[in-house]
């Protein structure tokens, strides 16, 4: 047979040649500078993952930030926090801007550092020296002081539940000057210095009194302060009513272990809160968090509470817009997709795997597009039968159970071409580390298969959702191909906007963010 590289078809020669290698050493396409930063901001968690160490990810994002205009860095930071609901990456980019563009950093700080956890992350990153300074400096110090000044006592108490650095460390670091006697007493209590007991916030005074006499009512302090002490089932039930929505979702098994659901009325109360539409709109939990919470609830959690958690999952995905035409969703179920979606971090690795996110995207799109076809793949296409009328959690669990093998991103496209299928939209959810279908030269197999499919289906579009921060894709972006990163519900809106023609690429969506 003649040399395929020398005698390739005219169409194949027109396809873009690969310009980099992925983590498996297979030819791929590198994202452009802006797309790379947006991708890292939406998927990076600064933790070890299947292919990379956290240090590599840190170096990648700082290199990407230096390659673009600081204003786009600011837009990426705000997008990652507000749409992608990320934590570490927005804090890192905000810290980077204190060196790259201090004036812009002031504007970004207020949109990104919106709670005590984000404040601690920002300070930790600033002091690490990774962004070019090992101390806060005058302006960042003032930003932290302003956050402390503007925070309510309640906000400060919640901020005081974390460590490394703790809120006490931060207060001492910035030499915070209290605005009134109450704050002066609070800071004294916080950092272990003498304080005026009479001026303490009433919540702190009640907490100190309760520690001396446990027969007193539970003080109105963050529940984490109280759980270190022995509590009755009734007290646990009371704490359940005080927990925030996310904390309640995360502590269902703990409440069950401590007998809280044996208290009359608590199961109904918890179920009502979990399925409350207004609360869901305010909190915006990531759908995959709800799916995994469902899978982790123990037998001690009442069925009505489990049912409410499942209803919350369904409600969280009601915003998944139906897209017109014939839709195919292709979740990657290969071996590398078994890794935690937020990476490996000692003592804090997420139980949520990449495959769980891919499965949920497929199940959610099937729910909103009842005629959609789901084609899971690894080295080859994996046959799985799903029903659009089944519960989202059930379909997602069925998909997540079929993992293993190498990665072949072009496999579902090859199947569609073999069938000569009529298609309007193909959505591939993967970590993009395809190697089974690697080509020695020219374009990727994914681009070749997509070009064949698009030749038959002239209006068809391909969306590649990349949920890992590796920086390469198997399909180069163009008018009919969208590469988008992330694992929040924002990707569904991005898909709908691309299909409707509202936007041509993901970078333009990030560039619409106001800073």
pLDDT digits (tens, 9 = 90+) for 387-433: 888 888 888 888 888 878 899 999 999 999 999 999 999 999 999 99
Q: List, in order, residues 6 or more apart from 110 with CB less than 8 Å away.
A: none
479-486: long-range contacts at Cβ-Cβ below 8 A with a sequence spacing of 24 or more? 479/504, 480/454, 481/450, 482/506, 483/31, 483/35, 483/39, 485/38, 485/39, 485/40, 485/42, 485/43, 486/42, 486/43, 486/83, 486/84
251 pLDDT tier (thresholds 50, 70, 90): very high
* pLDDT for residue 270: 98
Alpha-carbon Rg for the chain, nearest whole angstrom, is 25
Given a contact cutoff of 8 angstroms between Cβ atoms, the answer to whether 87 and 117 are in contact is yes
Q: Is the pLDDT of residue 8 over 60?
A: no
When pLDDT is averaged across residues 172-187 and rounded to a whole number, the result is: 94
Q: Is the pLDDT of residue 292 over 90?
A: no
Residue 463, CA distances (Å) to 188, 379, 429, 474, 484 in order: 55, 20, 8, 11, 7
When pLDDT is averaged across residues 351-360 and rounded to a whole number, the result is: 83
DSSP-based three-state secondary structure for 192? coil
Regarding the domain delimited by 20-29+321-511, which CATH topology (the fold level of the hierarchy) does it fall under? Answer: Rossmann fold (3.40.50)
When pLDDT is averaged across residues 181-200 and rounded to a whole number, the result is: 95
* pLDDT for residue 12: 56
When pLDDT is averaged across residues 495-507 and rounded to a whole number, the result is: 90
Give percent above pLDDT 90 in the chain. Answer: 67
Give percent above pLDDT 70 in the chain. Answer: 95
Helix (H) or strand (E) holding 167: helix 167-174
Helix (H) or strand (E) holding 307: helix 303-316
Spatial CA neighbour of 183 closest among 161, 157, 222, 206: 157
Q: Is the pLDDT of residue 6 over 80?
A: no
Q: Is the pLDDT of residue 196 over 90?
A: yes
Distance of CA 451 to the CA centre of its chain: 32
158 pLDDT tier (thresholds 50, 70, 90): very high
132: tokens are 């070019």
More confident position, 286 or 76: 76
* Parallel, antiparallel or unpaired: strands 461-466 and 425-430: parallel
The rounded distance, in Å, linking the Cα atoms of 131 and 427 is 36
Q: List, in order, residues 6 or more apart from 6 with CB less than 8 Å away.
A: none
* pLDDT for residue 3: 46
pLDDT-wise least confident of 20-34, 35-49, 208-222, 257-271: 35-49
Spatial CA neighbour of 248 closest among 229, 228, 276, 220: 276
* pLDDT for residue 391: 85
Given a contact cutoff of 8 angstroms between Cβ atoms, the answer to whether 43 and 467 are in contact is yes
Residue 188, CA distances (Å) to 11, 141, 185, 191, 499 in order: 73, 20, 5, 6, 57
Given a contact cutoff of 8 angstroms between Cβ atoms, the answer to whether 471 and 446 are in contact is no
The rounded distance, in Å, linking the Cα atoms of 93 and 78 is 9
The rounded distance, in Å, linking the Cα atoms of 205 and 141 is 30
Given a contact cutoff of 8 angstroms between Cβ atoms, the answer to whether 46 and 89 are in contact is yes
Q: Is the pLDDT of residue 294 over 50?
A: yes
Taken in order 281, 344, 398, 261, the sign of the CA dihedral is negative
More confident position, 8 or 323: 323
**pLDDT tens across 360-386, in order?**
888 889 888 989 999 999 999 999 988
* pLDDT for residue 514: 93
DSSP state of 473: E
349 pLDDT tier (thresholds 50, 70, 90): low
DSSP state of 422: -
* pLDDT for residue 253: 95
Q: List, in order, residues 6 or more apart from 153 with CB less than 8 Å away.
A: 182, 183, 186, 201, 203
When pLDDT is averaged across residues 503-515 and rounded to a whole number, the result is: 91
**pLDDT tens across 35-68, in order?**
999 999 988 877 776 667 788 889 999 999 999 9
When pLDDT is averaged across residues 149-158 and rounded to a whole number, the result is: 94
Q: Is the pLDDT of residue 1 over 60?
A: no
When pLDDT is averaged across residues 461-477 and rounded to a whole number, the result is: 92
Strands (E) across 335-475 are located at 373-374, 425-430, 461-466, 472-473
β-bridge partners, 481: 462, 478
Q: List, in order, residues 6 or more apart from 220 with CB less than 8 Å away.
A: 203, 206, 242
Q: What are the sequence ranges of the domains in the chain?
A: 20-29+321-511, 33-199
* pLDDT for residue 394: 85
The rounded distance, in Å, linking the Cα atoms of 385 and 262 is 40
More confident position, 12 or 504: 504
* pLDDT for residue 348: 53
When pLDDT is averaged across residues 432-445 and rounded to a whole number, the result is: 91
* pLDDT for residue 229: 93
CB burial readout 256-287, b (16+ within 10 A) else e: bebbbbebeebbeebbebbbbeebbeeebbbb
Helix (H) or strand (E) holding 268: helix 266-274
More confident position, 388 or 221: 221
* Parallel, antiparallel or unpaired: strands 373-374 and 327-331: parallel
Q: Is the pLDDT of residue 152 over 50?
A: yes
pTM over 0.85: yes
53: tokens are 């160490």
Q: Is the pLDDT of residue 5 over 50?
A: no
202-207: long-range contacts at Cβ-Cβ below 8 A with a sequence spacing of 24 or more? 203/153, 203/154, 203/157, 204/157
């Amino acid at each position: 047979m003649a040399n395929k590289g020398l005698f390739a078809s005219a169409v194949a020669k027109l396809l873009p040649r690969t310009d980099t290698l992925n983590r498996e050493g297979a030819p791929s396409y590198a994202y452009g500078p802006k797309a790379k930063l947006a991708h890292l901001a939406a998927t990076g968690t600064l933790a070890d993952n299947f292919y990379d160490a956290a240090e590599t990810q840190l170096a990648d994002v700082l290199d990407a930030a230096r390659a673009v205009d600081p204003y786009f860095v600011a837009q990426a930071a705000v997008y990652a926090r507000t749409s992608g609901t990320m934590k570490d990456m927005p804090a890192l980019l905000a810290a980077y801007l204190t060196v790259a563009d201090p004036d812009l950093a002031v504007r970004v700080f207020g949109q990104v550092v919106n709670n005590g956890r984000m404040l601690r992350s920002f300070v930790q990153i600033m002091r690490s020296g990774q962004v070019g300074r090992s101390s806060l400096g005058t302006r960042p110090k003032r930003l932290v002081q302003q956050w402390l000044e503007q925070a309510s006592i309640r906000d400060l108490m919640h901020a005081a539940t974390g460590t490394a650095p703790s809120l006490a460390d931060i207060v001492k670091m910035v030499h915070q000057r209290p605005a009134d006697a109450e704050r002066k007493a609070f800071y004294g209590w916080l950092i272990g210095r003498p304080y005026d007991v009479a001026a303490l916030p009433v919540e702190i005074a009640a907490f100190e009194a309760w520690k001396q006499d446990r027969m007193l009512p539970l003080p109105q302090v963050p529940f984490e302060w109280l759980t270190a002490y022995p509590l009755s089932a009734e007290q646990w039930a009371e704490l359940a009513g005080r927990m925030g929505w996310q904390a309640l979702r995360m502590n269902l098994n703990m409440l069950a272990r401590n007998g809280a659901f044996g208290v009359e009325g608590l199961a109904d109360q918890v179920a009502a809160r979990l399925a409350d539409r207004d609360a869901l709109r305010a909190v915006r939990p990531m759908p995959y968090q709800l799916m995994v919470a469902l899978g982790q609830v123990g037998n001690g959690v009442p069925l009505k509470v489990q049912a409410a958690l499942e209803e919350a999952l369904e409600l969280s995905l009601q915003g998944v817009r139906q897209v017109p035409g014939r839709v195919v969703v292709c979740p990657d179920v290969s071996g590398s997709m078994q890794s935690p979606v937020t990476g490996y971090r000692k003592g804090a690795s997420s139980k949520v795997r990449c495959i769980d996110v891919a499965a949920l995207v497929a199940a959610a799109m099937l729910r909103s597009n009842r005629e959609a076809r789901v084609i899971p793949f690894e080295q080859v296409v994996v046959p799985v039968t799903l029903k659009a009328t089944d519960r989202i959690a059930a379909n997602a669990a069925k998909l997540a159970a079929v993992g293993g093998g190498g990665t072949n991103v072009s496999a579902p496209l090859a199947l569609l071409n073999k069938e000569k299928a009529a298609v309007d939209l193909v959505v591939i959810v993967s970590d993009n580390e395809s190697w089974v279908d690697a080509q020695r030269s020219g374009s990727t197999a994914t681009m070749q298969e997509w070009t064949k499919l698009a030749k038959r289906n002239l209006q068809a579009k391909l969306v590649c959702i990349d949920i890992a921060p590796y920086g390469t894709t198997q399909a180069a972006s163009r008018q009919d191909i969208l590469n988008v990163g992330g694992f929040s519900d924002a990707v569904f809106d991005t898909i709908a906007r691309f299909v409707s023609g509202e936007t041509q690429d993901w970078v333009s969506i990030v560039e619409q963010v106001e800073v």
